[in-house]
Structure 1
């Protein structure tokens, strides 16, 4: 089968990421810098990053930047954890603390709105910031500030809805930008350094364009043909790249509907290693060359290549990894902590091709069992303040 016969909306969205990077930054950098005042960024002693699905994943990916650049203790929580289980005293007990980013491109998800309302109900406490493309949405109206994300226009040319990559990039870019701004107003580095961090984000995304994207695309189409009969997939990472593993697994569910798990690579050695049908579990390890876990990753890669069909996604030298594994080599960001902005690209392409080769629709389009649920009650679930 020819590659272009398997073209799909997810592939087209992936190809658009390097194209959208600069116009997106030009349209959004100033609003993002101005979204929060200096006191709002300087005063908080802790930070919470909250969301559902991909938006939760963006919080996990951005957590190291708030800690490293912003110098603030940061936790990433699912919206359910923050709305129903997180102690009230840790949401509201002193002015502007914590700084609570609630992430949703649509701004209509019930649990996220619930988080904002719960924070407000605590009285003195969290400064809630809606990270959304819809500043008039219910979530934005329930927040005290808005971190705006305005994606550039895009048409995939397909009728089917694509698993969100552009919205994920936009949300993660906005969070990274806010972390950079926080470090800047705290004078942890000069304005020139902050500007360089911002330039580096755009340059990193653009480095995936042209021939680089074509090479990755060719490799993932070839791998999809080898893996198309698999119905189980596993994704491994460490540190910030656990977010990538999480996001990659989500794209498989959304694109093909196959079972996909994600795991810290150390925990994998203790538990998931024992999977019985190991020759039919497509397994992906994502690791950056600058990761503190790189040496351990090389050990794990040896085990994976012996047991399973394995893809290594990395910016390190491919020769470091076992010859039995497929290695997809990525461009390196100028600052290693920016890797999660783009290191999901190979699996996004792989997921789209697998869906086409398996003959399934993205998001189970057209399947009655899935269409009968009103968007799984994401936007209509009853809001409760506990």
Structure 2
């Protein structure tokens, strides 16, 4: 199969370990002990896949930061609506603004860095482009060092690399602040990379079941996604691939709010409903119940997760992820991979282009729009 997205999926086998090591090596150098020690507040801003990466790891950052708070903030809110007095800056460089952008040239990211510097915040860019405007404007740059390959148009390789780089900085930050011991750091690092190897072992199994799913939902244009807690980031990322590669109409919610709103989505066809679930999650019982309700509504329910098969109806399709009990949240690093396979098979069947039309990038405003600093 020559599909570009599937090529990205397969390339992760060679990419992951190298990028993981590079991320941890670079994170050690990006900020000094004193600079990290002085930080009291952290904001993370990103768009699209970068936003998903921030959502996926913000909870971990909060746990180990030893600061007054870590929050994901949208560039539009920060640049166009937030005022100076909305942010308790404290001493200069005591508030850190992290921007995540593979290319580093999105106007709103550039505007975020510009405004943050006007507010005397310490700025750090996680990017793959050291020559980008956001990198050159930022005080610190955590360079991803991701090799550019011709088949990587929509994000997948870049998303995994973003997660690894943010993760590496979080652990380095925690080590400096004394919230993570050297033993804990190594245990977390080993758990994350070992789980990737277990995913690779299931690649053939994933491809078999995702091809069947693609055959079953080929004619469906409305796709629904459910994800709780950090898995919401995976649902967000996976849904983006359906839009970027297929032009699907998508909806995303958590397992509770879905029952209040998204359950009322209507179509002439049974709506494919992907649910990220994990038997070790505190919301697992709600995920099981939500899946049951979706089956009763005649949805095409697909569970993505480390789950107990007997907890679900026989009508449910299960993409079984590797067992991971102690650090079950690290599925967030990889659980979107099988759905990327679904998109790749569908794209091959439908013969659609990435971003759906060749005119997309010409008409989008990611690199245009006047930049104003509103203080």
The TM-score bracket by the shorter chain reads over 0.9
Give the CA deviation at 1:83: 1.4
Q: Which residue of 2 aligns with 1:120?
A: 117
Measured against aligned partners, the alpha-carbon deviations of 1:43-78 in whole angstroms (never above 9, x if no partner) come to 222211101111111111111110122244221122
Q: Which residue of 1 aligns with 2:137?
A: 142
Q: In structure 2, how many angstroms separate the alpha carbons of the residues matched to 1:39 and 1:337?
A: 30
Q: Which residue of 2 aligns with 1:97?
A: 94
Q: How does 1:13-24 map to 2 (within 5 A)?
A: 13-24=8-19
Q: Residues 194 and 90 from structure 1, CA distance in 2 versus in 1: closer, same or farther, beyond 3 angstroms?
A: farther
**1:187 pairs with 2:169:** no
Equivalent residue of 1:50, what SS? Answer: strand
- Which segments of 5 or more consecutive residues in structure 2 lack a partner in the other structure? none
**1:317 pairs with 2:308:** yes
- Which segments of 5 or more consecutive residues in structure 1 lack a partner in the other structure? none
**1:202 pairs with 2:193:** yes
Q: In structure 1, how many angstroms separate the alpha carbons of the residues matched to 2:240 and 2:163?
A: 16
Q: Which residue of 1 aligns with 2:342?
A: 350
Q: Residues 50 and 229 from structure 1, CA distance in 2 versus in 1: closer, same or farther, beyond 3 angstroms?
A: same
Q: How does 1:164-179 map to 2 (within 5 A)?
A: 164-179=155-170
Q: Residues 298 and 36 from structure 1, CA distance in 2 versus in 1: closer, same or farther, beyond 3 angstroms?
A: same
TM-score, normalised to structure 1, is 0.91
Q: In structure 1, how many angstroms separate the alpha carbons of the residues matched to 2:361 and 2:164?
A: 32
Q: In structure 1, how many angstroms separate the alpha carbons of the residues matched to 2:83 and 2:259?
A: 33
Q: How does 1:105-116 map to 2 (within 5 A)?
A: 105-116=102-113
**1:48 pairs with 2:36:** no
Give the CA deviation at 1:332: 3.8
Equivalent residue of 1:362, what SS? Answer: coil
Q: In structure 2, how many angstroms separate the alpha carbons of the residues matched to 1:27 and 1:128?
A: 21
**1:384 pairs with 2:372:** yes
Q: Which residue of 2 aligns with 1:221?
A: 211
Q: Which residue of 2 aligns with 1:76?
A: 72
Q: Residues 359 and 154 from structure 1, CA distance in 2 versus in 1: closer, same or farther, beyond 3 angstroms?
A: closer
Equivalent residue of 2:72, what SS? Answer: strand
Q: In structure 2, how many angstroms separate the alpha carbons of the residues matched to 1:122 and 1:43?
A: 17
Q: 130-139 vs 69-78, which deviates more?
A: 69-78
Aligned pair count reads 370
Q: Residues 70 and 337 from structure 1, CA distance in 2 versus in 1: closer, same or farther, beyond 3 angstroms?
A: farther
Superposition RMSD on alpha carbons, in Å?
1.8
